Structure 1
């Protein structure tokens, strides 16, 4: 990955709110990641399993053996060059949409961060609490600072839940999906090959359709930031 190549993707993220980089992981690396996930104990409370979705919250904490595989040299370089030297992982989730999934996600922005406790603070709210996990909508500058990497363990297109996004929507602050004017906005489907990644700003409006092609979609979603939270509030996951 040359400086010019990475600079082009950095510009995409800045201007459009997302970019796709192919072949960040080899097939062998992906198979190793899948093997670690398959061997994990799924009975813990951070694991959610239904006919439509298997998900793991605090993924890097719950499956620590996967960390060295996920943060290969290419990912480290991408984080450093596209985000910044001080960016660290602050949230991680694993999704598995099975072949028969009817899981549909309407257009939305990712407006919450995961923190270690609930504190009444100006500019932070509303709060949600699930099984001793605390999520809160922070002030806009914190959301604008975050960058997300989505690692694709399967080929993903419009038939198995690839993200659809509204380019440029990340630059418009809090953008309610019901106010989208499709006369001026466009929609783009982000196809990502197995072993590729999608990089996205959380404020980019995004959603996904139901699976229609009989193929599963497995994704590791990791959010990065270089900001310290105010007062004694801390990110619930924090991994250098």
Structure 2
């Protein structure tokens, strides 16, 4: 099935039953083995409200065969076509009593390997030895993100909220959105389901209120070459 129409019009799509119980258990096992033995890694971020692994697919590459099962490969290819590669991945673990919340925002930066000045690449930052930059809008418009849900995600444990079709308005300050006229959706996803979204879609998440854990693998994709010798720092081509 092609989900492109919904993603184009709404900015996102929710697809359940992409992963079997067994595939999810294998992912959990690989993640737990890695984190149990390696708490000091600089790509790990740990607080009482959130545990995160940046560069997830590089830190735990053994997960990739389970992530890119036949079902997910078919969804990506039928929806977006061929030639896409991973540009960034993060594992989020929002614990049962987490007060972590995220205000409405767009995902405006990409990770690159070094700082090279290029036209319309702006707002450079460095975090944990990683350069991030806001690229031209058309790069963001052509990328997409897949969020793999390790746990059932509901409005009570911090499911994403989105503003439907907000990705179609380009890069915007949140004050420019008239919330009275916009449609907001809470994106509840079953365990083993995915959410596909566009980076420019406004999204947020609330605090957890039901003492249930929320674990998500967030993977960003592109098929675009960057200019002036700039390279995606986490680029991984899928076989």
| TM-score normalised by length of structure 1 | 0.96
Shift of 1:80: 1.0
Shift of 1:184: 1.4
Alignment of 1:196-211 (within 5 A): 196-211=193-208
Distance in 1 between residues matched to 2:206 and 2:236, nearest whole Å: 32
Q: Is this contact kept in 1: 2:116–2:228, CA < 8 A?
A: no
In the alignment, is residue 13 of structure 1 matched against residue 7 of structure 2? yes
SS at match of 1:198: strand
SS at match of 1:117: coil
Distance in 2 between residues matched to 1:42 and 1:232, nearest whole Å: 34
Distance in 2 between residues matched to 1:14 and 1:94, nearest whole Å: 26
Distance in 2 between residues matched to 1:131 and 1:217, nearest whole Å: 25
Distance in 2 between residues matched to 1:192 and 1:57, nearest whole Å: 22
Provide the residue aligned with 1:112 in structure 2: 109
In the alignment, is residue 182 of structure 1 matched against residue 176 of structure 2? no
Q: Is this contact kept in 2: 1:12–1:18, CA < 8 A?
A: yes
| TM-score normalised by length of structure 2 | 0.96
- For residue 146 of structure 2, the aligned residue among 133, 144, 149 is 149
- For residue 23 of structure 1, the aligned residue among 17, 21, 24 is 17
Shift of 1:177: 1.4
Please list every run of at least 4 consecutive aligned residues from structure 1 whose deviation after the TM superposition is greater than 6 angstroms.
none
Alignment of 1:85-100 (within 5 A): 85-100=82-97
Distance in 2 between residues matched to 1:176 and 1:145, nearest whole Å: 20
Q: Give ranges in structure 1 of 5+ residues lacking alignment.
A: 1-5
Provide the residue aligned with 1:59 in structure 2: 56
- CA offsets 1:117-141 (integer angstroms, 9 cap, x no match): 1112221010110121011000001
- CA offsets 1:201-227 (integer angstroms, 9 cap, x no match): 010000000000100100000011110
- CA offsets 1:123-178 (integer angstroms, 9 cap, x no match): 10101101210110000010001110000000001000100000000000012112
In the alignment, is residue 49 of structure 1 matched against residue 43 of structure 2? no
Shift of 1:229: 0.6
In the alignment, is residue 36 of structure 1 matched against residue 30 of structure 2? yes
Q: How many residues align?
A: 234
Distance in 1 between residues matched to 2:199 and 2:139, nearest whole Å: 10
Provide the residue aligned with 1:170 in structure 2: 167
Q: Give ranges in structure 2 of 5+ residues lacking alignment.
A: none
Q: Is this contact kept in 1: 2:124–2:131, CA < 8 A?
A: yes
Distance in 2 between residues matched to 1:216 and 1:176, nearest whole Å: 31
SS at match of 2:31: helix
SS at match of 2:24: helix
Shift of 1:88: 1.1
Distance in 2 between residues matched to 1:34 and 1:42, nearest whole Å: 16
